[in-house]
Amino acid sequence: MSDDKIKGPASYFPSIEKKYGRSISEWKAIIRAAKPAKHMELVAMLKEQHGMGHGHANAIVAHTLAEDS
């Protein structure tokens, strides 16, 4: 069963949704709307405009950018 454990940035998704009150698809839409900003610019935007912590912001940005590449 331990092989089914979510790893990487997606492991943060349940706590991101719970803490910040938006679904992951909503956060991804916010990130995509701010492109073509760079990774750390997107992280800074989430932190400054939405009060997201660095680890959560970094995880969702990394996952979204990887998904889009």
| Residue pLDDT, tens place only, 1-46 | 455 788 888 899 999 999 999 999 999 999 999 999 999 999 999 9
Q: What predicted TM-score, i.e. pTM, was given to this entire model?
A: 0.89
d(CA 41, CA 51): 14
Contacts of 33 (CB under 8 A, 6+ apart): none
Mind spelling out the 3-state secondary structure of the chain? CHHHCCCHHHHHHHHHHHHHCCCHHHHHHHHHHHCCCCHHHHHHHHHHHHCCCHHHHHHHHHHHHHHHC
Tokens of 6: 């979510």
Domain ranges of the chain: 10-68
* pLDDT for 58 beyond 80: yes
